[in-house]
Amino acid sequence: MRFTIPAWIGTGLLIVSQSIVSSLGAETGENRGNEPLAATTSTGQSMRAATVVAAPMPHFWEFGVSNGFFRCVLRGPVRNNYDVQVSSNLLDWVMFRSYTIPVTGSTPIADPVKGISKRFYRAVPQGVGPFVAQPAPSDSKDIWTTSVYSWAPGEKVPGGGLNDDRLRIGGWGDEYYILMQFDLTGLPAVAASAVLHLYCFNQMGGGTEMYLDQVTEFWDWRTQGKGRDRERLWWGDRPGTVQWSLGTIASPTPGEWYEVDITDLYNAWKSGAQPNHGIQFRPVDYSNENFNEFFSSEYDAVPALRPKLIVTPP
């Protein structure tokens, strides 16, 4: 299997998709300078991927899969800082983690393979940007919840919701909220700009303006709550919140990206002034089937339309 990687892809090193390594049961692999990266699998098959290296760049080494993780070693000049980015198509790159090369000259990397259909990696010197965090289903945390209907099998109440491929806000006498939280690990310590992007694919009843809240306590419908299952955020399990933005934020336009500037909140999270438990969107109008609908991180048809946080350093 061979991949051709165009020179314009950018500086850094690209390596073979972890899904291919995982599915074939890779045991060994290495990269030497500008040579193609290769892996030998337990089935006797081999894989190759071109690399793009610009001095003084790091390189990846000793990659494989064990205990549910794709593992490799990042080598480079001591004390140099790099951002490891990942991509599913070699075009759209998002932040994975930041690494500082220790005195040993190398540092290990581990990435869960569960839920990943395809992933490539590259290392980029810090100080460039912007950085894009766009979680996949395996490492995301976003959901909608509603005040009356459970959306669960059996009883129609109390209020619940769904962890599906959409994020709904609005209502028809009842209320629908959106909650989400981004893992900020590896993103810049200070942002000149931090903008949340949500793709609005549908609107009903003219939509609604929204309130933006800061979530003030831990929440995770998958691990805690008083509801009868762990498949949804039950209305009674919503975390505490406080309104962050004064006034309201505008209604989105269907078929377009909707941008929400959270720079001040992002910097408060990164500085430790505020704990990062995420944000909540509440509807202003929920009286007459007013809805805004966005794609969630569970959306598989076009992964590039999942929610993303774009951070630009100073």
The CATH number covering residue 208 comes to 2.60.120
Q: Which domain holds residue 187?
A: 137-312
Q: Do 115 and 235 fall within a single domain?
A: no
For the chain, the 3-state helix, strand and coil shares in percent, each to the nearest 5, are 10, 40, 50
For tokens 């198509």, what's the residue?
89
Q: Do 176 and 82 fall within a single domain?
A: no
Q: What is the pLDDT of residues 60-73, one digit of tens each?
A: 878 788 888 888 88
> Predicted confidence band at 127 (pLDDT cuts at 50, 70, 90)?
low
pLDDT of the residue at 186? 76
Q: Do 99 and 45 fall within a single domain?
A: yes
Q: Do 141 and 123 fall within a single domain?
A: no
All residues at 6 or more sequence positions from 128 whose CB lies less than 8 Å from its CB, including other chains = none
**3-class SS of residue 57:** coil
Q: Do 123 and 159 fall within a single domain?
A: no
Q: Give the domain-ending residue among 127, 160, 185.
A: 127
Residue 8 · residue 21 · CB < 8 Å: no
Q: Give the domain-ending residue among 96, 127, 158.
A: 127
Does residue 218 or residue 88 have the better pLDDT?
218
For tokens 């406080």, what's the residue?
242
Q: Do 105 and 155 fall within a single domain?
A: no
Does residue 262 or residue 138 have the better pLDDT?
262
Q: Do 156 and 294 fall within a single domain?
A: yes
Q: Do 159 and 233 fall within a single domain?
A: yes
Q: Give the domain-ending residue among 76, 97, 127.
A: 127
The CATH number covering residue 37 comes to 2.60.40
Q: Do 244 and 295 fall within a single domain?
A: yes
Q: Could you tell me if residue 132 is inside a domain?
A: no
Rounded mean pLDDT, 104-117: 84
pLDDT of the residue at 55? 32
* Number of domains forming the structure of the chain: 2
Q: How many CA atoms lie within 13 A of 143 on its CB side?
A: 21
